[in-house]
Structure 1
Amino acid sequence: MSTPAFPAEPRSLWKDLLHPAVIVGALGYFVDIYDLTLVMAVKKESLAAFHVVGDPVPLADPLNWQMFGMLLGGLFFGVLADRMGRLTTLFGSILLYSLANIANGFATSLEFYSACRFVAGLGLAGELGGCIALVSEVLPKERRGYGTAMVAAVGVFGAVVAGAVAEYVTWQTNYFIGGALGLCLLFARVSVKESGMYQHAKESAGEGDVDRGNFFALFTDAGRFRRYLRCILIGLPTWFMIGILVYKSEAVFAKTSGVEGIKANRAVAMFYLGLTFGDLGSGALSQWLRSRRVVVAAFLVVSAACVGAYLFLTAGWTASAYYTLIFAMGLGMGYWALFVTIAAEQFGTNLRATVATTVPNVVRGSLFGMSFVFAELGLSGWSPTSAALAIGVSCFGAAFVALWGMEETFGKDLDYQEKK
């Protein structure tokens, strides 16, 4: 007598969200964002130690050197993640930025401080893309949006903690804390296994497949290049808001609007607090609506409205109202998790980590150019509001155009290779 077959019980959502790759990935991104935003949270105190008052010129700004390091590090660690594995890359990047942060605490000159931020940027670049690629490959395709949203939401809260800690300890101690957190994370990563999808792709690669981690393959095929460019362009408004509007809130924009009592570390913390809720909301919405593109478009509209209010409607506001608007801007930027997830979903396993790591870091690195343009427009007689408006219109315009022609990737099967 045969035993009747019963359908397997569906795996619970919470079991997927408690997958070691998701939990450790979320903690890793928390440390990554803590260390990434430290340079903004301790801006005033650290620069004062080197006798710099106000906003430094772009080439002397440690944040710009960190972003430049992330631009280069994104390429290096992205290629490495596709060639040697996601976990190998994550171990290397964590060690590099942790040691650089500890060295930052011993800085005695602006030049050494900026050099440490450059090295830290190289390491910080490898965390998010490798983590998102890994989580996207180990979770069921119908649920990976929840997993990447959880990673991003827990991760960006690191900026809130960094800003809060900056209220109680010296800037040097804050860097030591960031470095120590990274070294602790190395031990937690031991429990995570390599992506089975990556291992399968590595073992089954054929002659017609693009070589794993071949960055230049993104430029040798017109269709592949358009996909890559669209992924970058939809993210440009994010670091315009963080690096221009929020980072310069205390030194430039609050003064322009006549708002008193604004502190950069609190502005950064409020922005990332909004981003925490935004990432959770965008991830849940994309699962509910079964669409990445619709949700990104909605969040871009909210972000653009908040930027408009920030530039033109804040004259005479109280500090509390100003911080609330910054929180709303962070909420609008909550498509950051979707933006990186989309980049990972657009490409095959042999190029996925390269794309997922380079795309967010090209966006972060674009801040170097934005800061230069903002400073040059100021020297040409433009007001801070006009200069920010010109850059913002360019960033948001490019993002909307790129999103218009982008492929919908919700539920897409990722177990495939890019072909030559």
Structure 2
Amino acid sequence: MQKAIAAASAGGIKARRTPLTREQIGGFWAVYLGWVLDGVDSVIYALVLVPALTELLPNSGIAATPGNLGMYGSILFALFLIGWGLSFIWGPLADRFGRVRTLAASILIYSVFTGAAAFAHNVWELAAFRLIAGIGVGGEWALAGTYVAESWPEDRRKMGAGYLQTGYYLGFFLAAWLNYTIGATYGWRAMFLCGLAPALLAIFTVLKVKEPGQWRKAANRTTNAAADARADATADEAPATTASSPLRVIFTGALLRRTVTSAALVGVAIVGLWAGSVYEASAVVTLATRAGIDHMGTVRLASIGAAILSLATVAGCLVAPWLAERIGRRAALGVYFAGMAASIVIAFGWAFYLPNGLGLFMASLALLGFFGGNFAIFSLWLPEQYPTRVRATAFAFNASVGRFIGAGVNFLLAAAIHWQGSLGVPVAWTAAAFAIGMLILPFAVETRHDTLPE
């Protein structure tokens, strides 16, 4: 297919993109909605951090001082990321049992335990619910990204990755709207109850969405190979050998380099995601309070800030696949990493400390959002690096390692914020992670001209 497209272009004929089937369109919208709701559930905690901990810390015998709010907020962020990291379990399950059923299970878990957070009586119960919810939330990206890569035709899957990634940040926008209306009126517990909605989607996904054809073919090959091995073993009166586990395969041969570099780069991106998006609401609340704005006004400003961030990230996600096709995956990610580093320094290292910095900080969220669209590059790049039988495992593992890195950074941030009594400078220092990422990029494998491996 790629050769035909290239030949048509060379001959001056404008290649027509492969039309999508009804099954491909319906499946995309199902996993897209799951990714939207995943974004809602992920950012709810960031939006209600201050009011939730203001109530729960005293119930836990801890004073709700600004330093404690920042420190325990970062600890709970870190625990949520640990849950995200544990979500690597979904990859092998998806390679074994299918993308769709596993995706539905992850959606069900994150929705139930996000809703359960509404009934937390102290900070430790909230931490436990967020940890388990993180395990479900973390599976969505790898499973949805793998599904789209395998179900869409080769000439459309790259933009499909960009379209898919916008869903997560559309979820940010939806969460901001919910906080502006429901959260500001009914409080933080009502926001967590909104997180129960995806449970219905999980049921729909299992009933209506079919597995991608590429996975079905790979599963049939594996089944036939296992049957042949058993037949040979019976004939030879010797035990049949079993195939290596997918988790072991991604650390062998040429895949080892891809796994190590990809996991490190995703880790860098996640550090930036949590610096730029999760601390946005707390920073806006702090600046608005400093400016003398009342509680209702600060909640709504935090929601407006989240909306700016999310819409700008949607734009960044749509540009990312186009840029990756023009200059390559590594160079495109380098552009986004450099922009993210500069944006974090401008927002948290400079605007946050200006006497009247609220307006400038709000404006800087557009930059933070746009360059946060770097995750769309991973959505098309990671599937290109691995064959079908280990693709979901590799995607989930690389994302999970990155989340553990992000969790470690958040534990450090908790201590730094408590020591500084402010979140500005500690968060600004996370920009250094992107400098490390740009040093890793030359060692990553470029797949710009490659088709999706079978």
Q: Which has the larger radius of gyration?
A: 2
Instruction: Give matches, 1:7-406, under 5 Å.
Output: 10-12=16-18, 19-50=25-56, 51=58, 52-54=64-66, 55-57=69-71, 61-73=75-87, 75-169=88-182, 170-205=187-222, 211=243, 214-219=246-251, 221=252, 223-249=254-280, 251=282, 260=291, 264-287=302-325, 289=326, 291-314=328-351, 315-377=354-416, 387-393=426-432, 395-406=433-444
Measure the CA separation in 2 of the matches of 1:380 and 1:105: 30
Shift of 1:18: 6.4
| Equivalent residues of 1:259, 1:319 under 8 A apart | no
CA drift at 1:415: 3.6
Alignment of 1:401-420 (within 5 A): 401-416=439-454
The answer on whether the counterparts of 2:218 and 2:389 sit within 8 Å (CA) in structure 1 is: yes
Question: 2 CA distance for matches of 1:81 and 1:276?
Answer: 27
- Could you tell me how far 1:390 is from its partner in structure 2? 4.2
Q: C-alpha offsets along residues 164-183 of structure 1, whole Å, 9 cap, x if unaligned?
A: 21122222222222212332
Structure 2 SS opposite 1:234: helix
Q: 1:15 to 1:300 in 2, by over 3 A?
A: farther
| Alpha-carbon distance in structure 1 between the residues aligned to 2:426 and 2:137 | 29
Give the CA deviation at 1:53.
Answer: 4.5
Match of 2:450, as an amino acid?
A: K
**Segment of structure 1 superposing worse, 200-209 or 157-166:** 200-209
Structure 1 189/328 Cα, relative in aligned 2: closer, same or farther at 3 Å?
farther
Kept in 2, the 8 Å contact 1:43–1:264? The answer is: no
C-alpha distance after superposition, 1:75-120 (max 9, x if no partner) = 1111111111111211111111121122122222211111111111
Give 3-state SS (helix, strand or coil) of 1:140's partner: coil
8 Å contact kept, 2:20–2:152: no
Deviation at 1:265, TM superposition (A): 4.5
The more displaced of 266-275 and 248-257 is 248-257
Q: Unpaired segments of 5 or more residues in structure 1? A: 1-8
Please report how far the alpha carbon of residue 255 of structure 1 lies from its aligned counterpart in structure 2 after TM superposition. 5.6
**Alpha-carbon distance in 2 for matches of 1:96, 1:258:** 36
- Deviations along 1:118-173, one digit per CA (max 9) or x if unpaired, are 11111112111111111101112222111111111133210111122112222222
Cα distance in 2 between the residues matched to 1:42 and 1:291 = 39
Q: CA deviation at 1:307?
A: 2.1
Counterpart contact for 1:213–1:350, Cα < 8 Å: no
CA contact (8 A) 1:16 1:139 kept: no
Q: Higher helix proportion, which one?
A: 2
Q: Using the alignment, how far apart are the partners of 1:378 and 1:333 within structure 2?
A: 23
Residue 335 to residue 392, structure 1, CA distance change in 2 (3 Å):
same
For 1:230, the aligned partner's letter is T
Aligned pair in 2 of structure 1 residues 372, 60: CA closer, same or farther (>3 Å)? closer
Q: In structure 1, what is the Cα distance between the partners aligned to 2:77 and 2:145?
A: 24
Name the CA shift for 1:245/1:60 in 2 (closer, same or farther; >3 Å).
Answer: closer
Shift of 1:19: 1.8
The answer on whether the counterparts of 1:285 and 1:295 sit within 8 Å (CA) in structure 2 is yes
Give 3-state SS (helix, strand or coil) of 1:347's partner.
coil
**What is the alpha-carbon distance in structure 2 between the residues aligned to residue 131 and residue 378 of structure 1?**
35
Aligned length: 405
Structure 1, 303-312 or 190-199: larger mean CA deviation:
303-312
TM-score (normalised: structure 1): 0.85
Are 2:310 and 2:369, in contact at CA under 8 Å, matched by a contact in 1?
yes
CA distance in 1: counterparts of 2:411 and 2:166, whole angstroms = 30
SS at match of 1:399: helix
Q: CA, structure 1 residues 290+210, in 2 after alignment: closer, same or farther (shift >3 Å)?
A: farther
On the 8 A contact 1:77/1:89 being kept in 2, the answer is yes
Q: Is the 8 A contact 1:210 1:217 kept in 2?
A: no
Unaligned stretches of 5+ residues in structure 2: 1-14, 59-63, 230-240
Q: Once structures 1 and 2 are overlaid, which stretch shifts more, 170-179 or 273-282?
A: 170-179
Of 290-299 and 399-408, deviating more is 290-299
Q: Distance in 1 between matches of 2:44 and 2:242?
A: 38
TM-score w.r.t. the length of structure 2 is 0.79
Q: Alignment partner of 1:215: what SS?
A: helix
Q: Which amino acid aligns with 1:196?
A: G
Q: What one-letter code is carried by the residue in structure 2 that aligns with 1:355?
A: A
- Counterparts of 2:191 and 2:421, CA distance in 1: 36
Residue deviations 1:346-374 (CA, integer Å, cap 9, x gap) = 11111110122232233233222112222
The one-letter amino acid paired with 1:28 is: G
**What CA RMSD, in Å, does the superposition of the two structures yield over aligned residues?**
3.2
